[in-house]
Amino acid sequence: MARPFIMAVDDQQTNRSIIEAMLRDFYEVQLFADGESALRFLSRHMTDLILLDYEMPGMTGSEVLLALKADTRVRDIPVIFLTAMTDSKIEAEMLENGAADYIHKPFRATVLQRRIKMQLDLCSNRRHMEQLIDERTEEMRRDYERSQKRQALTAYMLALITETRDDSSSDHVDHITELTRVLMKNIDEYPKAARAVTPEQADYIIQAAKLHDIGKIGISEKVLQKPGKLTVDEFELIKTHPVLGARLLDLHMGELKEDLFFKTTRDIVLYHHEKWNGSGYPEKLSGDTIPLSARVTAFADVYDAIRSVRPYKASYTREQAAKMIVNESGTHFDPGLVDIFMRHEKDFAALY
């Protein structure tokens, strides 16, 4: 195992010789007569610790210390000042400027050796702690990524199960996800509080949007897959799916009710058929009282329905879809989201 490397900077030859004699049995020692040569050496090499004389011609010890602390490559090297001065103000200055310790001259070999060992041990312990923190941080990052992937896969599979019972196109889940992604990517253009949406919240909305129709699990397939027009009673049954979905989530959330992802999912499931003017269902919410996540999903859901082929209708063109969306701004849709849509309409159209 290599011995620790010590730099000793002192303009007095006698002092340098004493330091070398005290340390050479334990450490690799490199001697320097001035601060300038020590800094030049450090521009090309590293050291484990620096012994630095306070009073020197040319650069003083204090000036050398400031130069070391200004260089991110060497700023963490511990510096022990060697000084014959006993001025408490100077001692305080040395410590405030970043010195690890100071020793008064003349000093005994045991004192110098123990002070050096103490600083080297502190550095070793700090590096070990930093390594443990880095390893734990990386482990947490990997766990978080795995959790996110599991969460996304679970949401996708549940959405596919719902979709197979409905008459939606096979691409509906993917379209909802990508349409929502386009909106959330540009949500900073929204004129109100949505600007405060964090990247984590935006990702939750994108992942949860695919679960918007999970309540349809509780609706008869005969009604969901009916090729013709629904009766009044059948439509009223369909309209219960947001409440059914929210109840389903409530039954299984347990202690996850306060989890941001599940709260986002519940808001989307329950409120994605609300309309900006209050004419939607199930609670006839209006404007900003509708959670942003539900407003975004409602927009994506309707746009996909307009652009997609269904058993009971043909798809609308890009131009027709844009006109329909604009006509419903402030009625069905949040005007702020419609503005984002119009600025990035080509990104929405590119999905079809």
- Contact of 87 with 68, CB cutoff 8 Å: no
Distance CA 334, CA 298 (A): 10
What b-and-e string marks burial along 155-193, b requiring 16 or more CB atoms within 10 Å of the CB? bbebbeebbeebebbeebbbbbbbbbbbbbebbeebeee
- Contact of 80 with 101, CB cutoff 8 Å: yes
Angle between helices 199-209 and 172-185 (to 10 degrees): 160
- Look up residue 267 and give its two tokens: 């808001």
Active-site annotation holder among 216, 263, 313, 346: 216
Backbone angles phi, psi at 291, to 5 degrees: -55, 140
Q: Which helix (H) or strand (E) holds 136?
A: helix 109-164
CA nearest to 167, candidates 34, 310, 65, 309? 310
210 as an active site residue: the answer is no
Query: Which structural domains are found in the chain, ordered by start?
Result: 5-133 (3.40.50.2300), 165-349 (1.10.3210.10)
How far out from the chain centre does Cα 276 lie? 32
DSSP tag of 208: H
Distance CA 195, CA 144 (A): 25
Backbone angles phi, psi at 31, to 5 degrees: -100, 145
pLDDT in tens, the chain (352 residues): 689 999 999 999 999 999 999 999 999 999 999 999 999 999 999 999 999 999 898 899 999 999 999 999 999 999 999 988 878 888 888 888 899 998 998 889 999 999 999 999 999 998 888 888 888 888 888 877 776 766 665 665 566 555 555 555 458 888 999 999 999 999 989 877 555 788 889 999 998 998 899 888 888 878 877 777 888 998 899 999 999 989 988 887 666 677 888 899 999 999 999 999 999 999 999 999 999 999 999 999 999 999 988 766 788 999 999 999 999 999 999 999 999 999 999 999 999 8
- Look up residue 3 and give its two tokens: 């011995």
CB atoms within 10 A of CB 210: 28
Give the strands of the sheet with 5-9, arranged side by side. 28-32, 5-9, 49-53, 79-83, 101-104
CA nearest to 318, candidates 346, 279, 299? 346
- Contact of 274 with 298, CB cutoff 8 Å: yes
Distance CA 176, CA 304 (A): 7
DSSP tag of 310: B
Query: CB neighbours of 265 closer than 8 A, spacing ≥ 6?
Result: 155, 204, 208, 211, 249
Q: Is 49 helix (H, G, I), strand (E, B) or coil?
A: strand
